[in-house]
Structure 1
Amino acid sequence: MKKLFILLALSCSGNLYAQKTYQLSKIWETDSLAVPESVTPVGDGRQMFVSLIDGTPFDVDGKGGIARITTDGKIINPMWVGGLNAPKGIAVMQNKLYVADLTEVVVIDIPSGKIDLKIKIPEAEGLNDVTVDSKNTVYVSDSKNGIIFSIKNNVATPYITSLKGSNGLKAVGTDLYIGAGPVLWKADANKKLTKIAEGFESSVDGLQLINKDEFLITCWNGLVYSVHSNGKFNKLMDTRGVMNTADIHYDQKKKIVYLPTFFKKSVIAYKLH
């Protein structure tokens, strides 16, 4: 009887820690936006910023900008700030919006909607994603050179230089999660790299946390995955050839994924359940 009890307990324990299978259900889709790449919430939680390439992904053409939309999909301003060059990743820190703009990080004052400054990133060729850690350090990836830079006091320095194709970034405390090619990595405060998961069907683009043990990642060509910290992952969406899946935001309280569709020119909200 004792042996049977132990076996039953182990079986139940295994079920408790089984990886959850998620699904995505569409809630809404915006009207047309000029090639949206990334989305992040405004501080009030009722609006969102959207980076707009409005051209090809790596052209210095001054056509790009930032839009503002509501969290229920209405476009407030289709070009809140303009004159940017294929902007991609965006992040908010202390009433400032930090924008990856090819070779520099543009800092926009949110209350006024004016550009405060442009931080030149040394030798950058293709800045892509931006995130901010718990100590207000800004990180930006240069996908073309495989370098991640840290920015403190408006000065950029190389932080991690060994990950080819570095793209999606997510700072959690003093840890930095990185999507580089088909691999998800974690860098701790000492820059020690640990491989979390690998084997995605394309290169990682967007990167968000579902909870402390699970992630959502996108691959630009139309793939969305849920990923467990044990390295296992499930495919939630495959729209290859139909719709791009760019740099997402996930609202953990509402359990809503906000997904820019790039050349499909919209942002779509999905319920994660």
Structure 2
Amino acid sequence: MSSVLKYIMMITLTIITAHHAFAQTHQLEKLWETDTVVRVPESVLPDFKKGILYVSEIDGNPNAVDGKGGVAKIGLDGKVINLDFTTGLNAPKGLGRFGNELYVADLSEVVVIDINTGKVKNKIAIDSAKALNDITVDDKGIVYVSDSKTKKIHRIEKGKVSTFLTNIGGVNGLKAIGPELYILGGQKFMKSDSKGDLTPITTLSCGGDGLEPVGNGDFLITCWSGHIFYVTADGKIETLLDIQEKKVNTADLAYDPLKHILYVPTFWGKKVMAYKLITTK
């Protein structure tokens, strides 16, 4: 064997070894699931200090203005605390929080709830809205809410509504992190700067629903169809869960970055599930 060939093989082996040294795989270990008593849960928002999960309950038709929806409280152990913490909403979906205010996407308006009492404090109408879906609140208290039917993302600052982005097909999941807004639009995962300039990250195999940062630049992403993905900062995708054949949905999840636990609402499955994220090298 020539010295040149030996050198090439040595370099190739070094590259492969280095790749495997840094490559990580992730898997989920199921911890618990509630009974099927949660009335069509769409989104989960945690309060780790209080040990509470706030869960939006559609309780019926996801497009109906029927006053049947609400917000439930469930413990981090999966035990139901109060299924009627807030009532009288209309197919509520995404949840966000700033201070002691809980923000809920409620079809054509954003409902503001006192997080200590569950009482509705305010309703912010969005005139053009048809199907408000996910909500996120940045560290300055600015609210962003997606409208999946009109392909828009609206911005609410000090009660004033404006349209931040348009023509985002299938827009759903949102997450504000610093000056950036991470967006799921159909199969596309992208981010926007404060001016609305978009940067693509990756393309999923299905329409994205919920997204949560892991804490290292990576994300956990769900598709309503029954998929959970681990997506790295540079756009690589790992499938963590595929329960589509079981007809169990995976909607707008929550994540505990300290304990590495995912909390997943199952929509028509009428329960919330918890999984441990395990990383192996």
TM range (shorter): over 0.9
What is the aligned partner in structure 2 of residue 71 from structure 1? 76
Instruction: Select 1:190's aligned residue among 188, 195, 198.
Output: 195
CA distance in 1, matches of 2:179, 2:162: 17
Q: How does 1:1-273 map to 2 (within 5 A)?
A: 10-18=15-23, 20-31=24-35, 32-42=37-47, 44-198=49-203, 200-241=204-245, 242-273=247-278
Deviation for aligned residue 1:141: 0.3
CA distance in 2, matches of 1:29, 1:14: 37
Tell me which structure has the larger Cα radius of gyration.
2
Size of the aligned set, in residue pairs, is 271
Gaps of 5+ in 1: none
The answer to which of 99-108 and 36-45 deviates more is 36-45
Alignment CA distance shift 1:73-1:165 (3 Å): same
CA distance in 1, matches of 2:141, 2:48: 16
Deviation for aligned residue 1:121: 1.1
Alignment CA distance shift 1:16-1:263 (3 Å): same
Alignment CA distance shift 1:186-1:17 (3 Å): farther
TM-score w.r.t. structure 1 length?
0.94
TM-score w.r.t. structure 2 length?
0.91
Residue 254 of structure 1 aligns with an amino acid whose one-letter code is K
Q: Deviations over 1:98-119 (max 9, x none)?
A: 0000000000011222100000
Deviation for aligned residue 1:81: 0.5
Gaps of 5+ in 2: 1-5
Please say if residues 134 and 174 of structure 1, whose CA atoms lie closer than 8 Å, have aligned partners that are also in contact: no
Deviation for aligned residue 1:214: 1.2
CA distance in 1, matches of 2:216, 2:150: 30
Deviation for aligned residue 1:206: 0.7
Q: Deviations over 1:220-249 (max 9, x none)?
A: 011111111222201111111420000000
CA distance in 2, matches of 1:239, 1:21: 19
* 2:214 match: secondary structure: strand
What is the aligned partner in structure 1 of residue 3 from structure 2? none
* 1:80 match: secondary structure: strand
* 1:22 match: secondary structure: strand
* 2:268 match: secondary structure: helix
The answer to which of 237-246 and 170-179 deviates more is 237-246
Percent of counterpart pairs with the same letter?
Answer: 48
CA distance in 2, matches of 1:250, 1:175: 19
Deviation for aligned residue 1:212: 2.9
